[in-house]
Structure 1
Amino acid sequence: MKLAFSTLGVPGLPLPDVLRLASVHGYHGVELRAHPEEPVHPGLGPGERADVAAEFKAAGIELVGLAGYARVAAPGDDGPVIEEVRRLVDLAHDLGTPFVRVFPGADPEQSRESADAIAARRLGTAAEYAADMGVRILLETHDSHRAAGDAIRVLGLVGHRHVGSLWDVMHTWLAGEQPSESYAALSPYLGYVQVKDIASADDTTPLPLGAGVLPLAECVEVLSRHAWDGWLCWEYEKRWYEDVPPLPELLGPGREHLSRLLNESA
């Protein structure tokens, strides 16, 4: 497995500095938070996109994927949501990355059946465009569909190889699933895995990897046992928890922790 980190942990940091951190601390890739407040987002022009792709190539770092914020199960018209996903797909294509992340984002008032149907319809429509662009849309285990069992209801309805899953190990754990259960459900669709650590189910303040309660060893073990060989991406939610320690000082120990788990599970 290859190791990456998300720029959610270094909000607003210029791309050259992000790539330098990855190189110095031994990470193979970076997931970019594709938001207007970040250096890389769907509003970039063709020249800026070419520059970003060139910077990754020169640094020898892979762009794992783009973390977007489209809410595919949210109530309302399909058009704006599909357009948001298409813009993410366009950016991913231009930057040469295979994945874009979307959220479920259903409202509590929606029925499960309605939310699933809305998400599947929009993802199915966007999938045809993504296929033409050579990009996969990944539905993250998050918010209204935090369990793997929730996500695969939607993915099963879509039934398109260019729509898959992004396994956020915190959300499936908070939903009460064991890593083996989550992997079994998501494995036919799995794009990559987001790892992190937290203090408790009631306190999701981000912690250094290995310092909290999430079953990271079990997650790595089940992935290794099934010879899964994709990305482990550390999503340290510094953007939402401004008072936590800076990610750069944690990257080295975090890589060492993940490497140790990989060695122990080999």
Structure 2
Amino acid sequence: MRFAFSTLGVPGLPVGQVARLAADNGFHGVELRAAEGEEPVHTGLDAAGRREVAATFRAAGVEILGIASYLEVAAPGPDDPVLDGLRAHVALAADLAAPFVRVFPGGGGTPPEQADAVAARRLAAVAPYAAERGVRLLLETHDSHRTGADAARVLGLVGHRAVGALWDVLHTWLGGEEPSATYPVLAPHLGYVQVKDVASAEESAPLPLGQGVLPLAECVEVLSRADWDGWLCWEYEKRWYPRAPELAGLLRAGREHLARLLAGSA
């Protein structure tokens, strides 16, 4: 498995510094959060800016794992704004040679069957566009579709290889789903796995990996037992918790913790 971290943990940091942090601490890749007005990488970035970002990571020997969008594919409302946003993020990912775009469900209070259908319709509509550009849209286990079983319902309706899943270990745990149950339903669709740690369901401020209650060891064991050879991406939510310790000082220990979990499950 390969290790990455999300720029959610280093909000606003210039891409050159992000790439150096990754390289200096033994990470193979970075997930770039794309929030226009907040981050240096977003869909409004011009062609020259995109070339510069891609070149910066290439020079550091660090891959751009994916673009973390904030699009909600099951959200109520018209399709066109969501479809336009999906295409814009896919184009950004393609220009940066990033294989994935993260999307949220965002179904809110919509009945599950209706939310599933809306999300599937929108994802299916953009799937050929993504496939042509070598990008996969990944539905994160989150909010209205917290568990692997929830996400798999949508993905089964889509039925396109360019649409897959992002397993957020926090949300499947909050949904009461064990890693041994999550992996089998997401395995045919799995793009990568987001890892993190928290003190409890009520205390969600980010902790260094291994200092909280999330079943990271079980997750890595399940993946290893299945010979899954993908990405573990540390999403440290510093953006939402400004009093949390700086991620830069935790990266090396976090990578070493993941490596120990991987070695222990071999």
Give TM-score, length-normalised by structure 1: 0.99
Q: What is the number of residues matched between the two proteins?
A: 265
SS of corresponding position for 2:67:
strand
Q: CA separation in 1, counterparts of 2:25 and 2:131?
A: 34
Code of the aligned partner of 1:63: I
Cross-structure match for 1:244: 244
User: Is the 8 Å Cα contact of residues 108 and 143 (structure 2) preserved in structure 1?
Assistant: no
Q: CA RMSD in A?
A: 0.5
- Aligned-residue offset at 1:197: 0.2
Q: What is the percent sequence identity of the aligned residues?
A: 66
Deviation at 1:202, TM superposition (A): 1.4
- Structure 1: runs of 5 or more not aligned: none
**Secondary structure class of the residue paired with 1:245:** coil
Matching residue's letter, 1:89 = V
SS in 2 for 1:116: helix
Q: Equivalent residue of 2:240, what SS?
A: coil
C-alpha deviation, 1:77, in angstroms = 0.2
Corresponding residue of 2:98: 97
User: Matched residue of 1:3: which SS?
Assistant: strand
Deviation at 1:144, TM superposition (A): 0.5
Shift of 1:107: 1.8
Q: Deviations for 1:203-247, whole angstroms, at most 9, x for unmatched residues?
A: 111100000000000000000000000000000000001111000
Match of 1:170 in 2: 170
For residue 251 of structure 2, give the secondary structure of its aligned residue in structure 1.
helix
Name the residue aligned to 1:79. Answer: 80
Q: Deviations over 1:158-209 (max 9, x none)?
A: 0000000000000000000000100011000000000000000111111000
Q: 1: distance between equivalents of 2:24 and 2:132?
A: 36
The equivalent of 2:63 in structure 1 is 62
| CA offsets 1:242-262 (integer angstroms, 9 cap, x no match) | 111000011011011001001
> How many Å apart are 1:265 and its aligned residue?
0.6
Divergent runs of 4+, >4 A: none
Query: Aligned to 1:239, what secondary structure does the other structure show?
Result: helix
- Shift of residue 66, structure 1, vs aligned partner: 0.5
**Correspondence 1:1-266 to 2 at 5 A:** 1-36=1-36, 37-108=38-109, 110-266=110-266
* Offset of residue 63 of structure 1: 0.5
Cα deviations by residue, 1:86-136 (Å, 9 ceiling, x for unpaired) = 00000001010110000000121x111110000000000010111111110
* Post-superposition offset of 1:150: 0.4
Name the SS for the 1:137 alignment partner. Answer: strand
**When the two structures are superposed, what TM-score results if normalisation uses the length of structure 2?**
0.99
* Matches of 2:90 and 2:231, distance apart in 1: 19
1:65 Cα offset (Å): 0.4
Separation in 2, partners of 1:30, 1:107: 29
* 1:120 partner amino acid: A
1:151 CA drift (Å) = 0.3
In structure 2, give the amino acid aligned to 1:80.
Answer: P
**What is the rounded CA distance, in whole Å, between the counterparts of 1:257 and 1:135 in structure 2?**
30
Output the CA distance in 2 between the equivalents of 1:208 and 1:30: 18
Secondary structure of the structure 1 residue equivalent to 2:164? strand
Distance, in Å, in 2 between the alignment partners of 1:82 and 1:192 is 23
Kept in 1, the 8 Å contact 2:141–2:168? The answer is yes
In structure 2, how many angstroms separate the alpha carbons of the residues matched to 1:194 and 1:265?
18
SS at match of 2:89: helix
Conserved in 1, the CA contact under 8 Å of 2:22 and 2:30?
yes
